[in-house]
Chains A and B, each alone.
Chain A
Amino acid sequence: MIGQNLQKKLPEDLQGAVGQYMEQATDDSIDEVAVEIAQQATGFIDRVNETLQRYESSDGTERDEARAELFARLRDIRNFKANAQQVLAVMPDLKKRCATVLAKSDRKRKRPAA
């Protein structure tokens, strides 16, 4: 399976979750996961904005806490970006496989003249 090495970076529970989900995958799964990805990203960005606002409008301990939270989110983002780039790097390979199948089939479609 693609991305096996990247998968090993995940906590064990999540590695298991990937396997379990793949076993139960249906034709709708791609769309379901796409929706979840979009929701997770939007949710995260909202939380970042919320923390930024809290950081700007607070002082003392609350501001320190918001700052610590921002640092944590920043680390999280950098971790995500590094991993995402590696995932995106396998995309051309998958596309190439798809295109090869299509090209092969197109080439083969030669019919004998009636």
Chain B
Amino acid sequence: MTIVNNNRASDFQFETFSDLVGAGEYGGGLSASLRRKFGNLPPELMILLMRILEDGQINGGPDGDDTKDIAKLKKEACISTSELHQINSAFQGFLSNWSTGHGSVEAYMSILGLDELQDETLKSQIAQMLMDGYVTSDEAMKLAELGVIDKADADAFAESANWVMADGNKPTSSLSREAKEYMFGIGITGQYSFGDTMLMLMLLMMQLFQKRIEDMSSAVAEAQLKADVSAAKYRALLANAPADRESDDYAAWSREKEALKMDMDHDDDEVQQLMAELKRVMDKYDTLEKMFQGILDQIGASERAMAQKMDS
């Protein structure tokens, strides 16, 4: 979803919530800011960021010790601990606004990335529209006509806006991870459906396995070739043993035979190790296949439970 707004001034500053979730792509200013600063953060780093912030606390709290995740994020996304704290405190400020029920329309506008529009008349029109906490399709279309969002995104905008608003209005001081992800513009579960998210992850898994198997196969083939060469050399040497066992030639031949035997043992060990590794990859594959099947069963049970309710 694209929020059309060319008036955003701030870069990567988190003094206020407005800075955090102000206008930007996908309705989430943080994502836009992060992307401006870090380029396109890959999904796994965004997920990592979410995992750290999930319980509203950095390094500790209900979701446990974040040290490992923070270290990885710092290393791979060049994000500093103080920046993480800034993100978190801005987020906390927003949560307290929700929980006290103050500034809902303002907060709602900032979630949707509309609070920094320069046109005050347009802003007040939109605020009026959002006053009842619900965006109808007609209202979303009106926003599109006003050039605030793309027409093609109107329905999606209304749907996700209402969902975040509903989540934010719950009598609790926390939002679901899904809503946070939407706000942060990550969209791994918020912007995209569960089906798309899971398809992406499962494809990733398959491709990772394929790559691993191909890499391992090449390594095994290479090691095997090396072992074959050693064995051929050894075989050739055995065929040319000097007749006189007391001669210097025989002594030299024996030394060479021992050296070649050691090479052959070493190369054989390498093949063995790689094959054992490949077997481990296969075992992991089996485990994951069972996990996928388990997930499908669980999802199937959820589907049946839902279908039952729908029918009743």
Contacts and interface: CB of A to CB of B under 8 A. Distances in A.
Contact of B228 (A36, A48, A98, A108): A108
Contacts of A6: 199, 203
Given A91-B289, A94-B210, A105 B295 contact: no
Interface class of chain B by DSSP: helix
Contact of B42 (A21, A99, A102): A21
B284 A76 contact: no
B92 interface: no
Interface centre among B166, B285, B295 (most CB of A within 10 A): B295
Contacts of A33: 44, 201, 204-205, 208
> Chain A: interface secondary structure?
helix
Contacts of A48: 302, 305-306
B204 A102 contact: no
How many chain A residues sit at the interface, stated as a range, is 35 or more
Contact of A84 (B198, B212, B213, B227): B198
B306 A37 contact: no
Given A11-B196, A112-B238, A55 B309 contact: yes
A88 B39 CA distance: 34
Interface string B172-193: 0000111000000001010111
Given A21-B43, A30-B212, A105-B275, A94 B285 contact: yes
Contacts of A29: 204, 208
Contacts of B147: none
Contacts of A40: 189, 194, 197-198, 201
B278 A87 contact: no
Interface stretch (B11-19, B110-118, B123-131, B216-224): B216-224
Contact of B310 (A44, A70, A102): A70
B232 to A, nearest CB: 9
Nearest to A90: B206
Given A22-B208, A94-B213, A78 B303 contact: yes
A11 B192 contact: yes
Contacts of A73: 194, 306
B200 interface: yes
Contact of A105 (B178, B200, B220, B289): B220
B205 A30 contact: yes
Contacts of A18: 200, 203-204, 207
A19 to B, nearest CB: 9
Contacts of B293: 88
B215 to A, nearest CB: 10
A95 B206 contact: no
Contact of B211 (A25, A71, A98): A25
12 contacts: A1-B210, A18-B207, A20-B43, A22-B208, A30-B205, A30-B212, A47-B178, A48-B305, A83-B202, A84-B295, A87-B206, A101-B278
